[in-house]
Structure 1
Amino acid sequence: MARMLSTRMSSESILSNAGRHQSLCKQVPGAEHLATAIQPVINNLKEKKSLSLTALENKGRAYDNVVLKDTILDDVVRDISDAAKQYDRKNVGRGIYTDLFPDGKTTTITNASLGKEPDAADQLLLRFNIFEEGNIMLAQLAPLTTAIAGTRTALTAYQQAITDEKIALADEAMAQEGVIRQYEFNFLDATKLFGKLYANRLFPKTPKPKKEELVTETTTA
């Protein structure tokens, strides 16, 4: 009996078998309509597979952007740390570094997880309220605000990319089922038309290694 397709198979394998079946049908008089019948679902699966690949690529790019924005935020936090230390050296007794970084380190922010770092940086942002208007340290406020916003935007885009990929994969799975169903319908129709024995000829078989080697050796010779 012809080997039916399965949801356990990849889209590439399903498309390969469906395409081979279609090619065989086109060569047998009276079976051409089977090739026509399976074409729409083949086209649909190709389209959905392409969309899922695009979604995967978009997710990768979105993640790269999150990492980049996170790195930029890290740099801004370190710049603020350096500026605070320099400020304290020039203004002995003021001690603003510990006001901005109560635990005495930047890593509480920079080593936070990607999703939590913007919130941690927000706490640093709030501590800038200690400075009066005109204070030189307020120049650090805009870069920090921009970096936090950029990281949050990147994270939102990444979450959307994850959702888009899940939807694309679900659509691809449905398209796979469409090809599998039509493949089975074609077998039933072929059996009615030609009988089971002849119908099997219209469905591709997976070559056994030894037979494959024999064909290669014969061709080479």
Structure 2
Amino acid sequence: MAFVSAVAFFTAARRAPALCARSSAFVAPAARRSTLPRRAFAAAAAPPTTMTIKEGDTLPVDGVKLMTLGADGPSPVDIAPYFKGKKTVVFAIPGCFTSTCQKSHFPSFAGDNAAALKAKGVDEIVCVAVNDPFVCDAFAKVMNTPEITLLGDGNAAWVKSMGLEADLGAFGGIRSSRWSMYVDDGVVKKAFLEGGPGYTNISGGAHMIENL
């Protein structure tokens, strides 16, 4: 009888880890589901892998073009002649019609802030968005800010060439991080790089005004 009891005890002890393993396997999927949004958000907020552009550099121009929508349809913009011989404030948004871009970042370069930048000698204010020229044109019409020129970097080729891309994953793929620059004759004189899609006003209009 004692022998049977001992066998039963050791059998139950050997089965216990397996039961715990099955129990953990049952709980784990729910735990994974609960962390998916957090992981997805972390991936969306991840900074670009490299940030190569810096003050004193010339804007990259080889093999990349920006786009605009004219009367005859989409037109390429050659970067070197576009920025040549003038003082430009250029900033980037991850995409048109996204909430932070539309409500905070883009408007920070319009209105009174645009006037203040022009008073400091800025010839043109340019916004670059990782969108096709049709979306950029629609956004410009909605925002009604003729003081800002909106150019499309549809496949993010230009921001990649500067190391300023941000991978938003399922939220939008490769986009631009947020940044702003003061460019004189194609040379970066001031660079304010957020390092990701988040907005902390470092790349905003007021910060640019304060540092010119």
When normalised by structure 2's length, the TM-score is 0.23
Give 1 or 2 for the bigger CA radius of gyration: 1
When normalised by structure 1's length, the TM-score is 0.23
Larger % of helix: which? 1
